């Protein structure tokens, strides 16, 4: 039987292992989050994946391409996780509290503002648009939960997009660190409780 040939230049693939592209993305996400955009090289990614630099370049011609896809894939996973949390039988307030704690634990050691600002100057308009589109999908998941809560009378009638952006703005306070890298509150649970209470009291008003 004639042997099926791989496309010219394609790195060899072991069917028993995770796809090479998936391995590259997962390790790239970790490296970018740990070290920032500028300090991570394609060679760093290759070494962490246990592949050649040529293999990384086969899938991603530039570091900006790799970073863009890494962030897109990360945000898609976050969207799925958010959807899972917000689709439980708990109340919206309980689900949002769970979501805040998951977010804060995942981003505890990351300076999100600096991380995002550093990377954006190196990306093309098209790459930024890719990331913005997926980011909007994450917002839509939360907005859908707000809309449902309005429809069933769990929260007052209002603009669900405004509620969503208000929630995200308050959530960002949880990533604040002073010059000694200390958070506002001692624990993530305490921080989450204050974020949710502030948001909830704000939208519920006198209800």
DSSP state letters, 23-43: HHHHHHHHHHHHH-STT--HH
Instruction: Write the DSSP assignment of 168-181 as a string of letters.
Output: HHHHHGGG---TT-
DSSP type of residue 6: P
Task: Read off the pLDDT of residues 159-206 as tens digits, 9 standing for 90 and up.
Answer: 999 999 999 999 999 988 888 888 899 899 999 999 999 999 999 874
The rounded distance, in Å, linking the Cα atoms of 44 and 25 is 13
Task: Read off the pLDDT of residues 75-116 as tens digits, 9 standing for 90 and up.
Answer: 899 899 999 999 999 999 999 999 999 988 887 666 666 667
Q: Is the pLDDT of residue 31 over 70?
A: yes
125 and 182 housed in the same domain: yes
152 and 82 housed in the same domain: yes
In a domain, 78, yes or no: yes
Query: Which pLDDT band holds residue 16 (cuts at 50, 70, 90)?
Result: low
In a domain, 182, yes or no: yes
Task: Read off the pLDDT of residues 130-152 as tens digits, 9 standing for 90 and up.
Answer: 999 999 999 999 999 999 999 99
How many structural domains are present in the chain?
A: 2
CATH number of the structural domain spanning residue 25: 1.10.10.60
125 and 187 housed in the same domain: yes
Supply the range of the domain harboring residue 113.
64-204
In a domain, 3, yes or no: no
């Amino acid at each position: 039987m004639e042997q099926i040939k791989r496309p010219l230049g394609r790195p060899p693939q072991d069917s028993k292992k995770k796809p090479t592209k998936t391995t590259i993305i997962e390790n790239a996400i970790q490296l970018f989050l740990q070290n920032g955009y500028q300090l991570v090289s394609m060679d760093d990614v290759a070494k962490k994946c246990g592949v050649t630099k040529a293999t990384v370049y086969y899938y991603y011609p530039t570091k900006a391409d790799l970073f863009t896809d890494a962030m897109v894939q990360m945000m898609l996973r976050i969207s799925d996780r958010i959807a899972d949390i917000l689709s439980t039988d708990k109340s919206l307030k309980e689900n949002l509290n769970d979501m805040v704690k998951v977010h804060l634990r995942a981003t505890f050691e990351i300076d999100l503002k600096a991380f995002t600002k550093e990377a954006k100057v190196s990306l093309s308009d098209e790459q930024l648009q890719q990331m913005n589109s997926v980011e909007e999908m994450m917002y839509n998941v939360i907005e859908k939960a707000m809309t449902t809560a309005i429809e069933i009378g769990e929260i007052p009638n209002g603009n669900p997009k405004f509620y969503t952006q208000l929630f995200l703005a308050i959530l960002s306070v949880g990533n604040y660190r002073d010059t000694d890298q200390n958070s506002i509150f001692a624990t993530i649970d305490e921080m989450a409780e204050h974020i949710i209470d502030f948001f909830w009291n704000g939208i519920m008003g006198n209800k």
